[in-house]
């Protein structure tokens, strides 16, 4: 309002220099709120008035403002031309650094932009900027690049730091942008809370923008809501957010962020299985990113298109699309698109494994595809359903298809038949072997005649395939169960996370590290104990085929817990040592070593009463269970500790 009054007075007086200053002031308001269509005419007139004036610095600043505005309009080449003209006007010194980074961001030069911003952020921590730069704030730009590259945790912390900087500068605009960037980080960093926290951040940013009366600020928040809802499966909410965001983006003339909304909505349709809508939006998104010169956006849009063509059996388009996608990713170093969850890519990178398998097997940049599969730990994989199977067998049996935001637990009704679940658990138990179907039938249904048992096996196997891989095409090989004649077993290369395997790895790591690196060994033992949620397949206590494995794993657990308790005693961590010993006794209440360690811990804590109770409990349990007295070692320790306390 003040700038407009200044413009009116300057025009009345015919003061061209003052008119230019007033126009430039108004344009900066629109630039700081990213409203390029409003700024364009103001800057054009101000540039016209500046022609022939002696103040070359003022003219250079106008050219830089015009460059920034052309970037906001989605024309990076024109922006660079204006920037070059501004540099030519100056006798010395670099161009506007913020603009250069934003050109990199909007043209897909993510690594280069990140390096510049990280260096600048380090410098600004030593010498803080004392006035706000709105959406150009270093840390907030860096946060956006980090979520594009799939580094949600780092992005979230940069957004928090940037938000705090905005609050310190008393800049509500920067603070609102910081809230949106926090939302982006939440979507990648926490599968449980991320969606709700991100939506809260986006809505907070919208409220702040309404207080500031800057409608353009809401565009990124609506983009975030579109992405959050769409990737969660709430497609109606995603559509509403996209509609609002697109209207604001187009009113402001910002085609780049409008295209971000389009690709996010197209991906949401893809996740929801609405393939026709997905195809239409992804075509528009790819064309939009091409017009803006954004190679990263083009790669993301092409990635979703390739997933769509793979899903809908369109090999002709898929072949062309894969060549283009993999070339783009390799040339511009977008490898992370295939190995990390990014803001614009699939929430679970395992979704891309079938695409990489197709590329490898059909000779589309096969070496590149093989390397990306190796990055995922799937170098030997032959078949993949697009998710990792997670299986919990310690304690209550549970299984999930996938382990990211859209994971799906296989519920009791999904198994359809108990026999299918039993067959799967048998294969898990004998995961390192191949079993003959007659052997399987004998173990699972020992009372049935052979013909009936084999019939039940066939039905159970068919049902098992459907439970594990509901999208598997008829006649296609299973990604998890392999067959060799009449032999069946789990594929050794299958993308399967099994708690028993993780438990055994943690115990082995603890054993290897406890002497050389005690702190690391203790951490690994703790990890193992946390994984042991109960006995192996405790819901099947009378099944002979899993009893031996149950006993083996219980023994391994007690041994690891014993080692952990000893290490804790050596480090005077008395309370935790007592907790670990109590956990041991819950599984084996005749484990004398646990009683001895507990007595030592209670004595060091000065708790004579618990010392006595622990010895009495040891004495009673050994008498009841084994009809023996405590060993001389236990008795001697008790007497010594009693005298000391």
* Nearest-5° Cα angle at 538, 534 to 541: 145
Q: Which residue has the higher pLDDT, 290 or 45?
A: 290
Residue 403 has pLDDT above 80, yes or no: no
Q: Which residue has the higher pLDDT, 19 or 527?
A: 527
% residues pLDDT > 90 (the chain): 71
Whole-angstrom distance between the N-terminal and C-terminal Cα of the chain?
82
Give the Cα separation of 333 and 327 in Å (integer).
10
pLDDT digits (tens, 9 = 90+) for 323-368: 999 999 999 999 999 999 999 999 899 999 999 999 999 999 999 9
Tokens of 450: 């052979």
Please classify residue 341 by burial: count the beta carbons closer than 10 Å to its beta carbon, then call 0-12 exposed, 13-18 middle and 19+ buried. Answer: buried
Residue 256 has pLDDT above 50, yes or no: yes
- HSE at residue 568, side-chain half, CA atoms within 13 A, is 25
Q: Which residues of 80-110 are buried (b: 16+ CB within 10 A; e: fewer)?
A: bebbeebbeebeeeebbebbbbbbbbbbbbb
pLDDT of residue 34: 66
Nearest to 23 by CA among 56, 96, 40: 40
pLDDT of residue 468: 94
Give the Cα separation of 507 and 504 in Å (integer).
5
Give the Cα separation of 378 and 580 in Å (integer).
36
Minimum mean pLDDT among 36-45, 104-113, 153-162, 168-177: which range? 36-45
- In this prediction, residue 37 has a pLDDT band, given cuts at 50, 70 and 90, of confident
DSSP track, 296-329 = HHHHHHHHHHHHHHHHTT-HHHHHHHHHHHHHHH
- In this prediction, residue 405 has a pLDDT band, given cuts at 50, 70 and 90, of very low
Minimum mean pLDDT among 41-50, 391-400, 565-574: which range? 41-50
Residue 276 has pLDDT above 70, yes or no: yes
Long-range contacts of 507-512, Cβ-Cβ distance < 8 Å, separation of 24 or more: 507/556, 507/559, 507/560, 510/560, 510/563, 510/564, 511/560, 511/563
Residue 11 has pLDDT above 90, yes or no: no
Residue 428 has pLDDT above 80, yes or no: yes
Q: Which residue has the higher pLDDT, 108 or 215?
A: 108
Look-up of token digits 């390397």: 371
- In this prediction, residue 538 has a pLDDT band, given cuts at 50, 70 and 90, of very high
Nearest to 175 by CA among 186, 167, 183, 184: 167
Cα 283 to Cα 87, 216, 306, 312, 553: the distances in Å are 38, 25, 12, 16, 53
Residue 192 has pLDDT above 80, yes or no: no
Please tell me the pTM assigned to this model: 0.79
Residue 143 has pLDDT above 90, yes or no: yes
pLDDT digits (tens, 9 = 90+) for 587-645: 999 999 999 999 999 999 999 999 999 999 999 999 999 999 999 999 999 999 998 87
Residue 291 has pLDDT above 60, yes or no: yes
For range 558-580, the mean pLDDT: 96
Residue 101 has pLDDT above 60, yes or no: yes
pLDDT of residue 404: 47
For range 514-529, the mean pLDDT: 96
pLDDT of residue 170: 78
């Amino acid at each position: 309002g003040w700038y407009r009054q200044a413009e009116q007075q300057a025009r009345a007086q015919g003061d061209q220099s003052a008119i230019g200053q007033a126009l430039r002031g108004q344009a900066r308001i629109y630039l700081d709120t990213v409203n390029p269509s409003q700024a364009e005419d103001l800057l054009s007139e101000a540039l016209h008035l500046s022609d022939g004036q002696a103040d070359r610095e003022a003219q250079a600043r106008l050219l830089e403002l015009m460059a920034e505005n052309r970037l906001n309009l989605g024309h990076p080449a024109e922006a660079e031309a204006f920037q070059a003209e501004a540099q030519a006007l100056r006798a010395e010194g670099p161009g506007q650094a913020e603009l250069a980074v934003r050109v990199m961001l909007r043209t897909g030069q993510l690594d280069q932009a990140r390096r510049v911003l990280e260096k600048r952020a380090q410098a600004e921590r030593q010498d803080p900027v004392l006035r706000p730069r709105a959406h150009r704030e270093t840390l907030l730009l860096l946060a956006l690049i980090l979520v594009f590259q799939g580094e949600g945790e780092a992005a979230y912390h940069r957004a928090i730091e940037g938000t705090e900087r905005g609050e310190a500068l008393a800049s509500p605009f920067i603070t609102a942008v910081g809230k949106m960037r926090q939302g982006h980080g939440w979507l990648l960093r926490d599968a449980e809370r991320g969606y709700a926290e991100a939506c809260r951040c986006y809505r907070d940013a919208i409220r702040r923008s309404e207080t500031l009366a800057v409608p353009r600020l809401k565009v990124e928040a609506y983009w975030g809501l579109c992405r959050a809802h769409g990737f969660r499966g709430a497609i109606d909410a995603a559509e509403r957010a996209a509609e609002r965001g697109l209207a604001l983006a187009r009113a402001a003339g910002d085609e780049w962020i409008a295209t971000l909304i389009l690709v996010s909505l197209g991906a949401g349709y893809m996740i929801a299985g609405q393939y026709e809508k997905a195809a239409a939006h992804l075509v528009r998104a790819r064309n939009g990113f091409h017009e803006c010169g954004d190679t990263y956006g083009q790669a993301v849009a092409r990635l979703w298109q390739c997933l769509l063509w793979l899903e809908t059996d369109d090999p002709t388009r898929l072949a062309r699309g894969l060549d283009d996608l993999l070339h783009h990713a390799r040339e511009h170093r977008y490898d992370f698109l295939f190995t990390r969850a990014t803001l614009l890519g699939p929430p679970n990178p395992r979704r891309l494994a079938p695409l990489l398998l197709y590329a490898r097997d059909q000779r589309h940049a096969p070496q590149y595809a093989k390397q990306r599969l190796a990055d995922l730990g799937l170098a030997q994989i032959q078949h993949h359903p697009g998710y990792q199977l997670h299986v919990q067998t310690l304690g209550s049996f549970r299984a999930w298809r996938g382990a990211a935001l859209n994971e799906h637990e296989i519920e009791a009704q999904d198994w359809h038949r108990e026999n299918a679940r039993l067959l799967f658990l048998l294969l898990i138990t004998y995961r390192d072997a191949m079993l003959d179907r007659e052997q399987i039938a004998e173990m699972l249904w020992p009372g049935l005649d052979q013909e009936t048992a084999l019939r039940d096996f066939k039905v159970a196997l068919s049902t098992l395939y459907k439970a594990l891989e509901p999208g598997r095409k008829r006649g296609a090989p299973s990604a998890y169960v392999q067959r060799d004649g009449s032999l069946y077993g789990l594929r050794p290369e299958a993308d399967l996370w099994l708690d028993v395997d993780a438990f055994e790895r943690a115990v082995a790591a603890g054993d290897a590290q406890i002497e050389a690196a005690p702190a690391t060994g203790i951490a690994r033992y703790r990890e193992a104990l946390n994984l042991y949620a109960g006995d192996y397949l405790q819901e099947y206590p009378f099944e002979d085929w899993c009893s031996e494995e149950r006993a083996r794993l219980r023994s391994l657990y007690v041994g690891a817990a014993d080692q952990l308790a000893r290490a804790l005693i050596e480090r005077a961590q008395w309370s935790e040592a007592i907790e670990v010993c109590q956990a041991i006794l819950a599984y084996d209440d005749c484990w004398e070593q646990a009683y001895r360690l507990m007595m030592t811990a209670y004595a060091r804590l000065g708790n004579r009463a618990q010392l006595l109770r622990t010895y009495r409990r040891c004495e009673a349990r050994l008498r009841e269970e084994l009809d023996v007295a405590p060993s001389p070692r236990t008795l001697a320790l008790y007497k010594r500790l009693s005298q000391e306390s």
